[in-house]
Amino acid sequence: MTIKEELFAPADALCQVAACQAFTTGLMWSADRPGAAGASAHAAIVMEASDEDRFPTSKWEAGEVASVVSRAVRIMPSEGRSLLRRWTEAHRKAAAQGFPAEQQRRGMLVERAFSTQDVFVSDRFVRWREHVLRTYVPAEVDSDQAANFAASQRILDLGGVQLWTMEHSPMTLRRTQKLIQQSDPEFYHLSLNLRGTMGLTSSDHEAEYEPYDLVLHDTSRPHLIRAITSHDEETILGTGLFIPRKLLPLPENAIDSLRVRRLSGREGIGALLAQFLTQVNRDSGSYRPDDGPRLGTVAVDLLSALFAHALEADRSLPPETHRQTLVLRIRAFVQGRLHDPQLTPPAIAAAHHISTSYLHRLFQEHGLTVSGWIRRQRLEHARRDLADPALHGTPIHLIASRWGYPQAADFSRAFRNAYGIPPKDYRRHGSASAGYSGNSLAADHTREQRHS
């Protein structure tokens, strides 16, 4: 068996992908001469690798493969074409399994990664620039260190939220109106600077950010980001979030007042958010794929609380915005105390220095009752725990107590009223129990209003 045959021997699709990567690297290192394939063959192979009908993964992944494979074709045309056929087949199998299956199989958060370490030094900046232009938030990249450029990026999937980490040489990112028209996911982009200095310029703002400053900008608005090193450091390090606008519960005009504003990640809620981002990045291997959406919810809650805190301090905002932020703070307060059976409307009102009647009016403006909303949050958390395979050994009464129901009979009655099935039966159905959460959730709201 030849070396190439050994590389392609693994039956597992993702192992074949890894083998293809190794083989491509070997081709580029072993050959030092241009291939016979001309510009037309080069263009054809890029189109073939990027064809999503033949290559059923994301555009980002297709673009990465197109770039690597096309370079292999330039070096060894026949070998490169064979590589493309095998790579396409391997990724087709991987996609059928639910790409990326490797992280899922190993019980990890789903992630994407890119590093210039896998590329020749002379090609690193070009590859990085191509990579950034292919993302769902494309931007133009420039650097005065292009000849010795280094960069790495990692993105963790947290449900609808994306947690990114990036380390790179000094560079400038420019998001133009033309690129926005080309691709606009309508995200808020939160950045936490960890090392180096970042300057951000938009049409109406300009500011500079030091380590542990948090800054928000909008992917739908043109902006320029300048990242430079400080002291004797060689690279800039940062992390942050891409968040769909619809996930944040505050009015867009209120959030817009915080855009490009420096928010501290060193104290208070900002420090909690900064700690959360860095810890999830550091310990990502300890989380399962099902934890992704839960972590995304925590990220949105922390960010919303930070914004509410910043907005509450701004007395120039209209009364409606202050009411919105007060409701958000109350909800965050309640979420952190769902385990407390004494969490009642009078206790909540007292903690926020408002009357109980005003508290009820705040929730009525959103079509809710205070007691009904608390009950729904408790039952929904308990329902998720009952459906979680990792908690199948936890007694139901302990789960009930964890979410504010010290009496098992009270919990069972409330759960059955909400979901139409006793908690014991819900757990016994296992994965099939998801069927009870669809139509029953709609009925849940009606029942809650009736029992509030």
Domain definitions of the chain by residue range:
1-106, 336-451
161-168: strand order across its sheet:
111-115, 151-158, 161-168, 236-244, 187-195, 213-218, 263-264
Peptide bond into 100 cis (omega under 30): yes
Instruction: Convert 368-422 into a string of H (helix), E (strand) and C (coil).
Output: CCHHHHHHHHHHHHHHHHHHCHHHCCCCHHHHHHHCCCCCHHHHHHHHHHHHCCC
pLDDT level of residue 145 (50, 70, 90 thresholds)? very high
232 burial (CB, 10 Å; 0-12 / 13-18 / 19+) is exposed
Please state, as a whole number, how many other Cβ atoms lie within 10 Å of the Cβ of residue 428: 13
Indicate the range of 57-61, 115-119, 128-132 predicted with least confidence: 57-61
244 pLDDT more than 80: yes
In the chain, the percentage of residues whose pLDDT exceeds 70 is: 70
Name the CA radius of gyration of the chain, rounded: 26
- Residue scoring higher pLDDT (212 or 45): 212
> Which residues have a Cβ under 8 Å from the Cβ of 1 and sit 6 or more positions away?
9
- pLDDT at residue 52, rounded to an integer: 36
Average pLDDT over residues 372-387: 92
Say what angle helices 77-96 and 59-75 make with each other, to 10 degrees.
160
135 pLDDT more than 70: yes
Q: How far is CA 97 from CA 14, 83, 141, 290, in A?
A: 10, 21, 35, 17
Q: Is the pTM of this model over 0.75?
A: no
**CA–CA distance, 217 with 186 (Å, rounded to integer):** 11
Q: One-letter amino acid identity for 434? A: A
pLDDT level of residue 117 (50, 70, 90 thresholds)? confident
Q: How far is CA 67 from CA 98, 154, 189, in A?
A: 23, 19, 27
pLDDT level of residue 42 (50, 70, 90 thresholds)? very low
- Counting Cα atoms < 13 Å in the Cβ hemisphere of 214 gives 26
Structure tokens at 392: 């199948």
**CA–CA distance, 8 with 87 (Å, rounded to integer):** 10
53 pLDDT more than 70: no
**CA–CA distance, 107 with 101 (Å, rounded to integer):** 10
DSSP annotation of 230 reads -
CA dihedral 365→366→369→371, nearest 10 degrees, is -130
Helix (H, G, I), strand (E, B) or coil at 72: helix
**CA–CA distance, 283 with 395 (Å, rounded to integer):** 28
Q: DSSP secondary structure string, 121-187?
A: GGGHHHHHHHHHHHSSS--EEE-TTGGG--EEEEEEEETTEEEEEEEESSEEEEE-HHHHHH----E
Q: Check: CATH 1.10.10.60 for 336-451?
A: yes
- pLDDT at residue 205, rounded to an integer: 79
Which pLDDT tens digit goes with each residue over 342-354?
Answer: 999 999 999 988 9
